Amino acid sequence: MADSVIERLMKTNPTLEVWWDSSPLVYAPWMKSMIERAPAGQKEERAAQLARLFNATDPAKSVFRGCTTNPPLSLTAVKADPQKWDARIRELAHENPDADAKRLSWLVYKDVIRKGAAMFHPLYEASNRRYGWVSGQLDPRLFTEKEIMYKQADDLASIAPNVMVKVPASQQGVDVVRYLTSKAISTNVTTCFTMPQIAAVARAAKEGYDIGVKNKVDMSGWRAVITHMLGRLIERKQLDEQAEYCGVKLTEADKKWFGAAVFKRACKMIRDGGFPSKMLLCSVRPGPLVAGKQRYWDIESFGGGDVVFTLPPGALTPLFDMGDDLDFRADAINEDVPCAALEKVLKTPYGKQAYDPYGLSPDQFNTHPATLFTVDEFSKAAAGLEEYVAKIHASSTSTALAS
């Protein structure tokens, strides 16, 4: 059968990876919905393609190379199977009678990560620890609390050998990356949008790696990725407001090129600087419309790159819908973005801060508009999981008292 759109993309470079951006626990229902939406004559082929992406019977043969998740996606996974998770919450509450809702929700979150790591562990083993990583994120509400992040990171890393800790690209998060790397704990830097952030965490990972080697720590199974959240960077209202003030009219294409320019520059910096981290792209969106034809520049622009794409159901669905219309070229990653588009964006402080490696100082990382927006969204989801756990725990306690 024909290659899937994901397999075509991966053929542009043998080191290009595609990861599943959601809990592995929700892959099966998404796969079912994708088969149902396929045209009548394509359902069988679609089913085979999706079965190859995550091979449930033989995970080591999966096309996906890893998995990322975040608080909103984890909350979705729990709510998607209430019968299973409500029972698990009650079980954890029974095992930990002194735990409050905050502690219980952390135990539930770790359970989501543990189950996902188990699903990808065969791939981790078969690839000699290169692939099969599952990311677990530190509590986003504590992205400035370095000492707490140290403890949470150690806790998450102890869940399974193929757990990669998601660390925020905050001023304090840079130190956390260095600390974890020195202990050979793999990291995925998140809430990361700008070249200054990318440069800072790339240096921290390199410094941590050197410390680990000096201390004779086994670094052979260590990996690090740095996530560029493209869509979340270019969608902030501050970019449009500043452009209007500067007398610039930005089109959707201009913004797409801006996001692409930052990622391409980051990839070049990582490669030319000999940094041990790998760039990961997330927060991709379809578009723009070019000559009446829908494009997917957030993916097409980086064909051939030694990069990672992590794609959630919301990004994969339109990718499969567009299918053969997409153009994946092995040299796309090295193509410059149009100068006119980039020049327009760089007239704004927002654009300069993201594109210039020295556009922000570390003390500005925590207050960048994209950081504030994303941390707020992730924090609400973390609080939402606590509220859900508290509700289930309270109902089971009331039932027990009543009986």
In a domain, 227, yes or no: yes
* CATH label of the domain that carries residue 194: 3.20.20.70
In a domain, 347, yes or no: no
Q: Average pLDDT in the 262-267 region?
A: 98
Q: Average pLDDT in the 214-234 region?
A: 98
Answer whether residue 401 shows pLDDT above 50: no
Q: Average pLDDT in the 94-99 region?
A: 93
With bands split at pLDDT 50, 70 and 90, how would you rate the model's confidence at 397?
Answer: low
Provide the pLDDT for residue 73: 83
Which residue range forms the structural domain that includes residue 218?
5-235+250-336+362-394
Q: What is the 3-state secondary structure (H, E, C) of the chain?
A: CCCCHHHHHHCCCCCCEEEEECCHHHHHHHHHHHHHHCCHHHHHHHHHHHHHHCCCCCHHHCCCCEEECCHHHHHHHHHHCHHHHHHHHHHHHHHCCCCCHHHHHHHHHHHHHHHHHHHHHHHHHHCCCCCCEEEEECCHHHCCCHHHHHHHHHHHHCCCCCEEEEEECCHHHHHHHHHHHHCCCCEEEECCCCHHHHHHHHHHHHHHHHHHHHCCCCCCCCCEEEEEEHHHHHCCHHHHHHHHHCCCCCCHHHHHHHHHHHHHHHHHHHHHHCCCCEEEEECCCCECEECCEECEHHHHCCCCCCCEEEECHHHHHHHHHHHHHCCCCCCHHHCCCCHHHHHHHCCCHHHHHHHCCCCCCHHHHHHCHHHHHHHHHHHHHHHHHHHHHHHHHHHHHHHHHHC
Answer whether residue 69 shows pLDDT above 90: no
Mean of all residue pLDDT scores within the chain: 95
In a domain, 322, yes or no: yes
In a domain, 114, yes or no: yes
Provide the pLDDT for residue 398: 55
In a domain, 72, yes or no: yes
Q: Average pLDDT in the 89-112 region?
A: 93
Number of domains in the chain: 1
In a domain, 355, yes or no: no
Q: How far apart are CA 342 and CA 59, in angstroms?
A: 42
What is the pTM for the complete model shown?
0.95
In a domain, 264, yes or no: yes
Provide the pLDDT for residue 267: 98
In a domain, 346, yes or no: no
Q: Average pLDDT in the 91-98 region?
A: 93
Answer whether residue 200 shows pLDDT above 60: yes
With bands split at pLDDT 50, 70 and 90, how would you rate the model's confidence at 396?
Answer: low
pLDDT (tens digit per residue) in 297-340: 999 999 999 999 999 999 999 999 998 899 899 999 999 999 99
pLDDT (tens digit per residue) in 140-186: 999 999 999 999 999 999 999 999 999 999 999 999 999 999 999 99
Answer whether residue 403 shows pLDDT above 50: no
